[in-house]
Chain A
Amino acid sequence: MSRVQVVRPAGAGHETLYVLLVSLLILAVAAGIVALRGERHDEVSIEAHQLDARRDLNAAEQGVYADLRVAFDEIQARREEEPQLLAVEVLAEEGFPPFVLDASSASRGQHQWQLLQERAYLGLSQASAVAGSFLLLVPEAQDGAADVWLQRSPAAAVPADFSQAALIAAGWQQIAAHYDAGVTRQHSH
């Protein structure tokens, strides 16, 4: 029943130790929370055959690419009514860039658009120094995503095969869009 109490010396010694231990505990808790709750912002690396839509395209190509994506949405929407892909002439008539021939298309390389085998739009650039040639692959599914390829070589030609390996072999590069971090904070390549 008896209890022995040792009178400890007053002084900074053990109090300093307690403060140190408490600060270490706070640090450990903070580190634990950061480790558990923190989100990683890893940069998604792109493949060798790909181009980054934000960094690797010049101004004219970015304009064409953005217009193609808008036009692609329209193409997909029209496929609900009619399974056939819209002809290039129809798109041009309705005023969808980049298919319409106007001042901006002229300044962006004056692409010559054609529909290939009911599954791809090919725009051959007339000025490959300004912008490369574009290839828009329309997926089978109506809700699929656009697949855009670019070739800067003036020798760009109609691809015989739309498979990824064949396109890469023919010198095409896929345009990849990532929304991972602010492009203004990236180092240029």
Chain B
Amino acid sequence: MTVAQPLLNRACGPDIAFAEVDLTLGRTRILDKVSFNVAAGSVHALVGPNGGGKSSLIKTLLGQMPHHGQLTLTWPGEEQIIGYVPQALEFDRGLPMTVDDFMAAMCQRRPAFLGLSRKVAPAIDAALQRVGMLDKRKRRMGALSGGERQRVLLAQGLIPAPQLLVLDEPMSALDEAGIQVFERLLHEWRAAGTTVLWIEHDLEAVARLADRVTGLSRRVLFDAPPKQALTPDRLLSLFSIHPRSESIA
């Protein structure tokens, strides 16, 4: 935690506390007494098998699930902006929507068909520049590759500058260049003190980039810095069909 310690002092992101969060949809128990903390200004990774409740946990955090239990965000300042980058975007590939149209629809109040608002245009330019999509802004969204589309999704998460960024498997669709862009962004967020909650399947990337990692498979199986958490035993347990919870030292 030598890296995180000085950052905590100037963290502008919130501290997130999950306390005994339960979620049952229909008769399916999706989350079972999930308790862990996300430190302010840290990059917190969430790993676990498919159907383990990672995306549901994020939807719960965004206030879209009928959960039980206490879920609190402690914001250090007045600014309370949450950026969200979804796993994928479902839309008709033939939709005549350019990258600019999409960014306008996401970032401004003015209808997108009236063009970019002068107020947010510089921010959109900067965001597209940061993800390296500035030269493809006139392309149709349907004509982009999966990785490029993911970069556009990342770009919309940057406007307005968030204090908490929730990323749902951002790297799964990214190409090599996109991964480099993402890693650069992650360093920038860390430097800015933004809290990042990040669902990821790439355990190598988690070990390299995250401050702390939580293994989630209906229950919290571990919650520790990556060096301690990502041991073969724990990962085998995490991705087994009958996960076994263990206490973390």
Residues of A within 8 A of B (CB): 1-11
Contact = CB atoms under 8 A, between A and B. Distances in A.
Interface in B37-87: 60-68, 70-78, 80
Given A7-B73, A9-B67, 13 more contacts: A3-B75, A3-B78, A3-B80, A4-B72, A4-B74, A4-B75, A5-B73, A5-B74, A6-B72, A7-B60, A7-B72, A9-B63, A9-B66
Contacts of A8: 63
B71 A6 contact: yes
A7 B71 contact: yes
A9 B66 CA distance: 4
Contacts of A10: 63-66
In this complex, the member of A3, A7, A10, A11 whose beta carbon has the largest number of chain B beta carbons within 10 angstroms is: A7
B73 to A, nearest CB: 5
A7 B74 contact: no
A11 B74 contact: no
Interface of A is mostly: loop
Contacts of A3: 74-75, 78, 80
A91 B70 CA distance: 97
A2 B61 contact: no
Contacts of A1: 76-77
Interface of B is mostly: loop
Query: Which size class do B's interface residues fall under?
Result: 20 to 34
B30 to A, nearest CB: 13
Contact of A11 (B66, B71, B80): B66
Interface of B: 14, 60-68, 70-78, 80
Contacts of A4: 72-75
What 6 A-B pairs come out closest when comparing CB atoms? A11-B66, A7-B71, A5-B73, A9-B66, A3-B75, A9-B67
A3 B15 CA distance: 10
Contacts of B78: 3
12 contacts: A1-B76, A2-B75, A2-B76, A3-B75, A4-B73, A5-B72, A5-B74, A5-B80, A6-B72, A7-B60, A8-B63, A11-B66
Nearest to A4: B74
B66 A5 contact: no
A77 to B, nearest CB: 75
A33 B75 CA distance: 44
B65 A9 contact: yes
Contacts of B14: 5
A142 to B, nearest CB: 76
B68 A5 contact: no
Contacts of B61: 7
A76 to B, nearest CB: 75
A2 B74 CA distance: 6
